[in-house]
Structure 1
Amino acid sequence: MDEPTFGWTEFEEIALGLVEAHPDRDPAGVSFPELRELVEGLPGFSADEDHRVNEQILEAIQSAWLEELADGGDEDRGYHPNNPFR
């Protein structure tokens, strides 16, 4: 079975991959040229030849990565109250 692929505009998929591949990296400290290399190195990433990457796309990826880290970077996205024992 072939591994599923994703491209430049699948920000959530890229962010999840970056969290898994680089758990100790601070996305805010990654330059856009380095971010491009990190994304291109993700398993399953396949750039569409007709879709060029630009600064806005890299910024969106960086934001999605930061958001994913803020969310805990895990697959469990169910309800989690702030203080369940109040």
Structure 2
Amino acid sequence: MTTVTLLYFASLRERAGIASETISTTAVDLAGLYDEVQARHGFTWPREHLRVAVDGEFARWGDAVRAGSEIAFIPPVSGG
């Protein structure tokens, strides 16, 4: 198990009802991690429409999940 902190923004934060959480995961990559939390919180955004960042840097979905990382899932946002 790997422990990471997840950050949710915009509609993902609204859907989850929280801005962040620390979880333990068996996911080996960021895509698998998103699949886990998507099922847990009922997120409807497909991965292809999101950005992911690890420790403040944009990352790729195939990147490995690293213990202690802060991972942000970022949906598209519209400005006004």
When the two structures are superposed, what TM-score results if normalisation uses the length of structure 1? 0.30
Higher Rg of the two aligned structures: 1
Q: Which one has a larger percent helix, Structure 1 or Structure 2?
A: 1
Q: Which one has a larger percent strand, Structure 1 or Structure 2?
A: 2
